[in-house]
Structure 1
Amino acid sequence: MELTCTENFSNAARASRDKVIFNDVRVINNLLNDEMFSIPKCDYFQTIQNDLQPFMRKVVTTWMLEVCEEQMCEDQVLPLAINIMDRFLCICPIKKQQLQLLGATCLLIATKVRSTNMLPIDLLSAYTDYSVTYEHISSWELLVLSKLQWNILAVTGFDYIDQVLERCSWGHESQFLRRHANTLVSMCYTEPSLIQTPPSVIAAACISSAIRGLKLSSSEVALRDTCNMLNVNPRTVEFLVGVIDNAVSKVAPSLTPTTPESKTTVQGYESPHYGQPETPTEVENIYF
């Protein structure tokens, strides 16, 4: 019997709007109540990790971002993988030579939890130029899970994006808004200075920054609505928007939109142009 799956998920349609999820205020309340349990408990660079520096985390998380882009992983994979990594580093000290191994392991775990397609261990090993072996990743998977007591699920900034956009009239003002907001969420999770920032604040700032970047007329209304919905301080959001804009300016040669024909476009999103992920990694261009 032929058991080969021949379905093509590359152009899979998104599920229709679920009224139960997006009309019930308890969903957002539960996210806000649960997010505190998944925020890293400390600045591990100061307390736990004697051999690691913030720039090392930046290098590895950017490599993780490039791997997810190259493999077209779902948006929710990277924030969860980095959250798992941060929570593990709050508990277990490691050597700097093991940081990329940890990043690859967390990507494996995150794709098992929040992706339709798991990243194979052999592929993750290849992305490290085989400096990390199959045996390393498989053994560290058990180590990470045991240290976190198998509590790997977490509320991330990604979880709030659709909740906010689907509940507000301005949420559909641009077809690129969701895509840009999710891209900024991923970028925020690579920033060492935002390790202990609540996911709700990250989401609010990314939505606000995306709206301003797209030059939509509802920027002021969107900021007010988002802050009220997620119960965050507008001043905190404004400060974080500045951090996001500064991070974007470091990796984007130009914020001027270009024509879709001049770059790769996937489902209406102008995809970042990364090269093949390498070790150490180098960010090339991100276009918005």
Structure 2
Amino acid sequence: MDLTCAESTNKCIRAVKDRVIFKDERVINNLLNEEIFYVPNCDYFTTVQNDIQPFMRKVVTTWMLEVCEEQRCEEQILPLAVNLMDRFLCTCKIKRQHLQLLGATCLLIASKLRSTNFLPIDLLCAYTDYSVTYDLVANWEQLVLSKLQYKLSAITGYDYIDHVIERCSWSQNHELLRRHAHTLVSICSTEPSLIQTLPSLIAAACLSSAVRGLKLSCQSIAVDEICSMLNVDVTKIDLYINVVDSVVERVANPEGAEKKTKEPAKKPAGYESPTYGQPETPTEVENVYF
């Protein structure tokens, strides 16, 4: 008898899809009913924060995205981390010098909640070029948890993707569609203009954009079915699809008018980061075609 513990390997072992969950309409209904409680309740740039600007959030969330991609984190970590950060900023005023520290702390919390291998504090400090310390991240973890009242299991756009794909005959077993949709959700998490957008609407726009980008034969039927399933007004979906496409275009073509000089996620020379085995690394932006 082989008693080897599969969790000790580098490869992340994923659970088999539960067909009962995907066939039960109450799951999506519960997600739709609960999502409003996890949407940031204000435009904190104008009501709470006086030292934080939208472009600063864009820089930090892009850094968080790069950290997740380089460490091959599971796709749901980034949307949850950004949601935690936005909700915290709605309740607590901070200085701009603390924004990256907050981003690193939220990555730590999100990876603990939704990953088999969480991101170590030492590694996160290294990615900030040691501009933050271990003790700072540990202390801010307690601060974030207290300000959010430990309400951490937020619903994000990622949570809807598999439920829609598994319930539609035109998308089942379409791995490329799933990967593109997950990638678009992650990219949308970095966009300041979508902070207060419902996760179901983001998921519907990302799925619809992925369907059109992959030029599936059932585009019109697919978009209508997605909107119906996620209770989204089909007359408004085109507007949000255009927003998603424009966000991706800016990421894929940084030499455009909105290009900002930035460096990739920093990791000091000589630092040997741990190897993580999460599969299904998000598709590279350059591979998403529209």
Runs of 5+ in structure 2 lacking a partner? 255-262, 268-283
CA distance in 1, matches of 2:5, 2:136: 30
In the TM superposition, residue 285 of structure 1 has moved relative to its aligned partner by: 6.1
The residue number in structure 2 matching 1:267 is none
- CA-CA distance at 1:170 after TM superposition: 1.0
SS in structure 2 of the partner of residue 235 of structure 1: coil
TM-score scaled to structure 2, two decimals?
0.86
Q: Distance in 1 between matches of 2:15 and 2:28?
A: 20
- 1:204 maps to 204
1:143 deviation in Å?
A: 0.4
Change (3 A) 1:142 1:198: same
Structure 1 counterpart SS, 2:221: helix
Equivalent residues in 2 for 1:234-253, closer than 5 Å: 234-253=234-253
2:111/2:117 contact within 8 Å kept: yes
Aligned-pair CA distance for 1:236: 2.4
Q: Does 1:277 align with 2:278?
A: no
* Residue pairs, 1:174-193, within 5 angstroms: 174-193=174-193
CA distance in 1, matches of 2:45, 2:253: 31
Partner of 2:279: none
Question: What is the Cα-based RMSD across aligned positions, in Å?
Answer: 2.2
Gap change, CA 1:29 and 1:94, over 3 Å in 2: same
- The answer to whether 1:119 aligns with 2:107 is no
Q: Is the 8 A contact 1:84 1:106 kept in 2?
A: yes
Higher relative contact order (CA 8 A, sep 6+): 2
Quick check: 2:183–2:285 contact (8 Å CA) kept in 1? no
Q: Deviations over 1:231-281 (max 9, x none)?
A: 111132211110111111112149xxxxxxxxxxxxxxxxxxxx85139xx
2:232 maps to which residue?
A: 232
Shift of 1:9: 3.7
Q: Which residue of 1 aligns with 2:194?
A: 194
CA displacement 1:49-89 (0-9 Å, x = unmatched) = 00000000000000000000011111110000000000000
Structure-2 change in CA distance of 1:6 and 1:87 (3 Å): closer
Provide the residue aligned with 1:33 in structure 2.
33
Spell out the pairing of 1:1-288 with structure 2 (5 A cutoff): 7-10=8-11, 12=12, 14-172=14-172, 174-253=174-253, 276-278=264-266, 286-288=286-288
Tell me the distance in 2 between the aligned counterparts of 1:61 and 1:84.
12
Equivalent position of 1:260 in the other structure: none
Work out whether residues 7 and 13 of structure 2, in 8 Å CA contact, stay in contact via their aligned partners in 1: no
Q: What is the SS of the residue equivalent to 2:171?
A: helix
Q: Which amino acid aligns with 2:163?
A: Q
Partners of 1:278 and 1:80 in 2: CA distance: 22
Match of 2:175, SS state, is coil
Residue range with higher mean Cα deviation, 171-180 or 85-94: 171-180
1:13 CA drift (Å)? 5.6
Equivalent position amino acid for 1:8 in 2: T
Letter of the structure 2 residue corresponding to residue 25 of structure 1: E
Q: State whether residues 173 and 216 of structure 1, in contact with CA within 8 Å, keep that contact through their aligned partners in structure 2.
A: no
Distance 2:183 2:46 in 1: 29
Amino acid at match of 2:8: E
Say if 2:40 and 2:86, in contact at 8 Å, map to a contact too: yes
Q: 1:249/1:172 Cα in 2 relative to 1: closer, same or farther (>3 Å)?
A: same
Aligned to 2:272: none
Q: CA deviation at 1:15?
A: 3.3
SS of the equivalent of 1:140 reads helix
Q: In the aligned structure 2, how far is the partner of 1:117 from the partner of 1:200?
A: 27
Counterpart in the other structure of 1:257: none
